[in-house]
């Protein structure tokens, strides 16, 4: 079994709830970045840690709201996952989030464990990874990472 595997908004259409799919069983550590949850991205948490920037749903900040199906703009939120990951390679501390039970709880500051966790390249290198869902905020354009401010639910 490999140490690490990652998913960048794994495909949802025609794959939701089907086996096999990327899961926490595939490696010792599996991190998933959800940016178009339940639309072009899979509608379930399947990793050791599942990251939900901006709640993981479309429309991601900076993506157009009025779009034509299957246009480049339609994939903007889905593509944010790899854009965030790519930025995390060159700026390892740019994406910080916290474990929380839901996006509304994150926004309200009602998270039990506020210990920040890095999303992206640095995620698998953290010494004490807790399993579960992690939420954070990003900017609307590059550089997307908000560093510590991204882990605070009340930041706009």
113's CB contacts (< 8 A; 6+ apart) are 98, 99, 130
pLDDT at site 128:
67
Residue at 103 is within a domain: yes
Q: Could you tell me which residue, 45 or 70, shows the higher pLDDT?
A: 45
Domain of residue 29, CATH code: 3.40.50.1820
Residue at 155 is within a domain: no
pLDDT at site 93:
85
d(CA 18, CA 89): 31
Mean of the pLDDT values across residues 65-90? 91
The whole domain housing 66 covers 4-150
- The top-scoring range by mean pLDDT among 98-102, 109-113, 123-127, 129-133 is 98-102
pTM of the model: 0.89
Residue at 156 is within a domain: no
Strand partners, 8: 33
Residue at 141 is within a domain: yes
Could you tell me the strand order of the sheet in which 49-53 lies?
2-8, 27-33, 49-53, 132-136, 96-99, 117-118
Which tokens belong to 18?
A: 């089907």
d(CA 144, CA 156): 13
The H or E element that residue 86 is part of is helix 76-90
Residue at 41 is within a domain: yes
Domain tally, the chain? 1
Residue at 57 is within a domain: yes
Residue at 136 is within a domain: yes
Q: What is the average pLDDT score of the chain?
A: 87
CB 54 within 8 A of CB 60: yes
Percent of the chain with pLDDT over 70: 89
Residue at 13 is within a domain: yes
d(CA 60, CA 52): 11
Q: How far is CA 70 from the centre of its chain?
A: 22
């Amino acid at each position: 079994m490999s140490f690490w595997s990652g998913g960048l908004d794994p495909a949802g259409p025609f794959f939701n709830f089907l086996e096999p799919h990327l899961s926490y069983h595939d490696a010792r550590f599996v991190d998933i970045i959800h940016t178009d949850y339940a639309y072009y991205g899979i509608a379930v948490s399947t990793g050791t840690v599942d990251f939900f920037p901006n709640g993981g749903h479309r429309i991601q900040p900076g993506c157009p709201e009025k779009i034509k199906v299957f246009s480049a703009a339609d994939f903007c939120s889905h593509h944010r996952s790899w854009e965030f990951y790519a930025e995390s390679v060159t700026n390892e501390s740019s994406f910080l989030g916290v474990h929380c039970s839901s996006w509304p709880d994150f926004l309200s500051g009602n998270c039990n464990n506020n210990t920040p966790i890095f999303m992206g390249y640095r995620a698998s290198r953290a010494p004490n990874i807790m399993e579960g869902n992690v939420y954070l905020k990003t900017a609307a354009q590059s550089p997307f990472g908000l560093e510590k401010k991204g882990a605070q639910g009340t930041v706009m």
